Amino acid sequence: MIISKQQDVTQAVLQELDRAPDARFKELMSAAVRHLHDFARETRLTEAEFHKMCAYIARLGQLTTPSHNEVVLAAGSLGLSSLVCLLNNGEHGQTDTTANLMGPFWRMDSPLTENGGSIVRSSTSGAPVFVDAWVRDLEGKPVAGAEIDVWQASGEGFYENQDPQQADMNLRGKFTTDAQGHIWFRTVKPVGYPIPISGVVGELLRAQGRHNMRPAHIHFMIHKPGFKTQFSQVYSSDDPNLETDVQFGVTRALVADYVLHEDEPAPQPDVSGPWYSLERHFIIEPGEATLPKPPITGKAEGPRPQLAVLTRSE
């Protein structure tokens, strides 16, 4: 089609998309074209603004490395990761679900760890936490033999892939549920942390007057054939940033009490002083047990990065 007026552009692109043999690809791309073109019309997008947006998108890819994924970080900061999760779980977002966004810090091949073991693999600050978690199906039956990846940030706010000073795979582990669908392990109490703001995401947050804090949490990924793979996060009820999570991930179903014990013996005799316990139940749905491509594949080298915290404007 030879273009006579601006409306012709959209029609020409959609006509070409009709050639696509994959029906789902055609549906997704056609919707994307319609919405993008309508966005440009609605906002009266200028050429300078368009070029700036293209530069942002290019930099998202340029800033993504084996140990950092700026694209996934941006998707979370715009609420897209959380929205897609809720649209695809809990009866398409109509009921509570223990599913949550994957986040940008999941790594494949976490160390296999026996139930009762520790995921603390190098010197790590923080009070001990003893975690008990159970996995059940929609009928409430225990799910045995499920693999559960666990990962979290350190007490200083770094995931091990960000921090050359931590041992490889520190605060990461893979467990298998027993006949009761149960796993248990030891870690340290998570803290809230700032997401990286040295790139595009930081620029966008500053422009919005937002902070870059995530509330304290532990990640879980549950995988077993016959069930849909579930990513989850369990947030600490005492964190001050539950209402303003920079990644929009906190749901009521995933806020939990990390219970403080000050005068009771800990489950392991080498612990003296205060410790915490956490109990959590996950419900997984039938489906295909697929795994996404990990957003990161390696560990950062060189000096430890500086953590920067943005202030949320009133």
For residue 10, what are the CA distances in angstroms to 3, 34, 93, 164? 10, 7, 32, 49
Instruction: Output the six-digit token pair for 92.
Output: 């398409």
Residue 203 region, left (φ>0) first, then alpha (ψ -120 to 50), else beta? Answer: alpha
Closest CA to 103 of 295, 291, 308, 274: 295
Helix (H) or strand (E) holding 136: strand 128-136
Rg value, the chain, Cα: 22
The beta-strand segments (E) located in 139-254 are 147-151, 172-176, 182-188, 193-194, 213-214, 217-223, 230-236
Q: Quick one: which of 173, 72, 68 has its CA closest to 119?
A: 173
Q: What is the pTM of this model?
A: 0.93
Residue 272's CB: how many other CB atoms inside 10 A? 9
Looking at the chain, how many residues does it have? 314
- List of residues 6+ apart from 256 with CB closer than 8 A: 234, 235, 236, 237, 278, 279, 280
Q: 122 Cβ partners below 8 Å, 6+ apart?
A: 166, 167, 170
pLDDT of residue 139: 95
Which pLDDT score is estimated for 91?
Answer: 80
Q: Is the dihedral of CA 284, 287, 288, 293 positive or negative?
A: negative
Cβ–Cβ under 8 Å, residues 58 and 74: no
Q: How do the pLDDT tens digits run along the chain, 314 residues long?
A: 889 999 999 999 999 999 999 999 999 999 999 999 999 999 999 999 999 999 999 999 999 999 999 999 999 999 999 999 999 998 877 788 999 999 999 999 999 999 999 999 999 999 999 999 999 999 999 999 999 999 999 999 999 999 999 999 999 999 999 999 999 999 999 999 999 999 999 999 999 999 999 999 999 999 999 999 999 999 999 999 999 999 999 999 999 999 999 989 999 999 989 999 999 999 999 999 999 999 999 999 899 888 999 999 98
Determine the pLDDT at residue 96: 86
* Proportion of the chain in helix, strand, coil states, percent, rounded to 5: 30, 20, 50
Residue 99 tokens, joined: 């599913």
